[in-house]
Amino acid sequence: MLVPKSRNLLLLLRLLADAKLSSAALPLDPTSTVPACSCYQATDSDGALFLNHQFFDFRALANETFAANLTAPDPINDDQGGGIEHITSPFFGDGLFGDYFVPASWDKNASEASPTVMVNSQQNIYLTRDSPDSAVHLTLRTNRLSTFQSASNLETVETGLLHASFRIRARVAGSPGACAGMFTYYSDDQESDIEILTRDEHSVIRATNQPGVDRQGRVIPEASTQVIISAPDSEINGSWTDWNDYQLDWLPGRSEWFINGVSKLNKTYGVPTEPSNFQLKMWSDGSAWTGNMSVGGLATLDIEWIDLVFNTSHDTPGESCKTVCTVENIENNPVPQVASADMRARWVGTLWVLVLGTFWVGVFFLW
């Protein structure tokens, strides 16, 4: 049986423990819907901190006026080889997304290694849904004509990314001979990729740091690795035709690839060192890499959301990270969650623990 002082001591210890836990959590104002995050932490990024965050959730567009009758635009035809088509929705021209991502309009001539002319078109970038009741998603398309391959490419206006973690929920479908790319890019030798080749088995993606070949044209084995998709909550292989979460962490001296939250591969070869942009691409050029799509063939890259945390060449995150937020569950909760607060706030919490402790110790011995 506990004597009164023992009961009081037990109560004191519990109160101190509760106070300590409260000070460690340091939640922000619970009525606030957007925490005052000063930097961000991605899933399993070795504690790497990033000053910038962008989350684009295409599912959230379902109630927008322009989403009422979403249909895929007609595929490019043989008479549209100039790549001069207009954007397919005001979403791509106005607001945050249009300010952050721009569609490419360049083309690529045929060569011995890439025998198919490739022309990017804004008509191949559009919003759609599987059915009137399903979620909205972004689509990038490529299709093969008799004289050229029509392709699509979105890239960030920001070209100064220097280390990042990006996650994308995506699926790919269509004819063999296409490549769906999600990657950082500075040059052909400074590039880090998640790539899905429609000529591959459905359970395989490619994780690549460039360059993939040396100056003599020989393949560099360390550059590209085949990675098997793990189906969520299953021991069987997944398929890139289903929705999967793809993640690439570009850290100093190391790149790491994740699928559905599971780390699949680390590379130290070819880790980019130059400020870059981020790109989405659906393309083919008839090369050995993409394969040759048959005339009339078509393939698509569908995306439900894009989550980017990054630093630029001008950022020094260690000096300004007062409140660290995590984007680990951003796809289900679009508000970043506080992971930790700054040291000054921690000292305030610790001080309150000491004050409460002193008070209750006095009460205990006077009782």
Lowest mean pLDDT among 29-33, 45-49, 59-63, 92-96: 29-33
The residues, any chain, with a CB within 8 Å of residue 218's CB and separated by 6 or more, are none
Count CB neighbours of 40 within 10 A: 28
Find where tokens 């044209």 sit. Answer: 217
pLDDT surpasses 50 at 1: no
pLDDT surpasses 50 at 12: no
Model pLDDT, residue 25:
28
Q: Report CA Rg, the chain.
A: 25
Count CB neighbours of 254 within 10 A: 13
pLDDT surpasses 60 at 5: no
Pick from 147, 87, 95: nearest CA to 118: 147
What are the DSSP calls for 173-199, one per residue?
EE-SS-EEEEEEEEETTEEEEEEEETT
The pLDDT confidence band at residue 358, using thresholds 50, 70 and 90, is: low
The residues, any chain, with a CB within 8 Å of residue 233's CB and separated by 6 or more, are none
Residue 111: strand, helix, or coil: coil
pLDDT surpasses 90 at 292: yes
Lowest mean pLDDT among 155-164, 239-248, 283-292, 354-363: 354-363
What percentage of the chain has pLDDT greater than the value 70?
81
User: Do you know the residue count of the chain?
Assistant: 367
Q: How far apart are CA 146 and CA 297, in angstroms?
A: 10
pTM of the full structure: 0.83
Residue 344: strand, helix, or coil: helix
The pLDDT confidence band at residue 6, using thresholds 50, 70 and 90, is: very low
Count CB neighbours of 333 within 10 A: 10
The residues, any chain, with a CB within 8 Å of residue 191's CB and separated by 6 or more, are 183, 184, 185, 208, 209, 210, 272, 276
Pick from 286, 231, 288, 289: nearest CA to 261: 231
The pLDDT confidence band at residue 341, using thresholds 50, 70 and 90, is: low
Pick from 89, 98, 32: nearest CA to 64: 89
pLDDT digits (tens, 9 = 90+) for 185-206: 999 999 999 999 999 999 999 9
Pick from 167, 120, 157: nearest CA to 141: 120
Residue 270: strand, helix, or coil: coil
